[in-house]
Structure 1
Amino acid sequence: MNTGVRRCDTNNLLLNTEKTKELIVDYRKNADLHPPIHIKGTAVEHVSSFKFLGVHISEDLIWMNNCSKLVKKAHQRLFFLRTLRKNHLSSDILVNFYRCTIERILTNCITVWYGSCSALDRKALQRVMKTAQCIAGAPLPAINDIYRKTYLKRAGKVIKDPSHPAHGLFTLLPSGRRYRSLRTKTTRYQNSFPTAVRLLNSAS
């Protein structure tokens, strides 16, 4: 019995094996076979993708499925935005509706996936925003600008919090003005956390 199961038993918590899934991310060419995980004799189902806190995570960390789900859900909300316009509501109200409903869908956990999603997926997200902009009759922030603003805000919180696990990754150069860039071997890694350092340096 593993530590997690023992901890749940100690705290009178029940693990639901039907809702527990196993997702393996392994990029090695000769990846080892992973034996199934068992919880009290019941094997945990292995899946290639899983929805966690509204984000569709796949084993290859390609975000096409996640973006398509967000775009589809956002398109459904555009119907209500059009209905509000047909009832002659002001642009301010339409913009507020977009920001509170549609934009929140398009930018859900955006710092996790947007940096690594494809240009095609980014265009699909942006098209939803442009459609909403035409309906509302007022300018709306671009998805890329929201991503940049959110990333900088998150990075700032990490820098100010010495207890954060990633705090030590932000180190200033001797000039004290720019942060030291992180060396990366893969584009996937370069588009994830090191993006925060590049954005901070470009904003300085």
Structure 2
Amino acid sequence: MIVRDFQTKSKKFLLNVSKAKELIVDCSKKQERHYQPVRISGTTVERVDSFRYLGVHISQDLSWSRHTNSLAKKARQRLYHLRRLRDFRLPSKVLRNFYTCTIESILTGNITVWFGNSTKQDRQALQRVVRSAERISHTELPDLQTIYYKQCQTKARRIVKDPTHPNNRLFSLLRSGKCFRSLKTKTERLKRSFFPQAIRALNQGN
């Protein structure tokens, strides 16, 4: 087992099994499979159906409803403070800056990871928070789809400029030298994931 082998080879590595979690991601459409539990040093690792990693809730079916629900809840709580600032008659520019720093930053955290494969309902729930902030601040705010594409473009350009990046080879120019070659995708999940979307965003920006 990889974990046990790594723990054996690393003299300074100590794994706290009580805090470790096992998350099985199986996208197969075949009948449900049964997996043996992972045991480390005689202790069974707890199996979970979702796990929060670097602020992102990852579910075993790779759906993002749990994550977007968490984002919407946090962002709605911040709307209270935005209303309080409005009641103090602060200028719209200040309200917009507050929104960008405390609400938009929540809604768009790691957006290139999950937004592409989020459902229409999840996106609408998040966008309703943006519209509420617009009504409170009396100013136009960027929609999440626009922010998503811009962040895809930004991250993709960094990868293209870095020949040492492990995924640099995915961005290959066509003979024209103006557009990047689209990636072949067999599933809708892959089509809506970061790299195909990033290439599409780059080509639209050219």
Cα drift, residue 41 of structure 1: 1.4
1:25 aligns with 2:25: yes
Instruction: Give the whole-Å Cα distance in 1 for the aligned partners of 2:201 and 2:130.
Output: 23
- Change in Cα spacing, 1:79 to 1:176, as seen in structure 2 (3 Å) is same
Identical aligned pairs, as a percentage?
49
Equivalence for 2:5: 3
Instruction: Give the whole-Å Cα distance in 2 for the aligned partners of 1:178 and 1:46.
Output: 44
Cα drift, residue 127 of structure 1: 0.8
Q: How does 1:106-185 map to 2 (within 5 A)?
A: 106-185=107-186
Partner AA of 1:76 in structure 2: Q
Equivalence for 2:202: 200
Instruction: Give the whole-Å Cα distance in 2 for the aligned partners of 1:30 and 1:124.
Output: 33
Runs ≥4 residues deviating over 6 A = none
* Alignment deviations for residues 96-131 of structure 1 (CA, whole Å, 9 cap, x no partner): 111001001100100000000011111111110110
- TM-score under structure 2 length normalisation: 0.93
* Alignment deviations for residues 140-186 of structure 1 (CA, whole Å, 9 cap, x no partner): 11111111111100001111111211110111111111111111111
Equivalence for 1:15: 15
SS in 2 for 1:165: coil
1:84 aligns with 2:85: yes
- TM-score under structure 1 length normalisation: 0.94
My pick for the range that moved more, 103-112 or 28-37, is 28-37
Q: Give 5+ residue unaligned stretches, structure 2.
A: none
Number of matched pairs: 202
Q: Let me know the Cα RMSD of the aligned residues.
A: 1.4
Instruction: Give the whole-Å Cα distance in 1 for the aligned partners of 2:164 and 2:35.
Output: 33
Quick check: 1:158–1:166 contact (8 Å CA) kept in 2? yes
Equivalence for 1:43: 44
Partner AA of 2:25 in structure 1: V
Q: Give 5+ residue unaligned stretches, structure 1.
A: none
SS in 1 for 2:58: strand
Quick check: 1:56–1:65 contact (8 Å CA) kept in 2? yes
Quick check: 1:49–1:59 contact (8 Å CA) kept in 2? yes
Partner AA of 2:15 in structure 1: L
Partner AA of 2:79 in structure 1: L
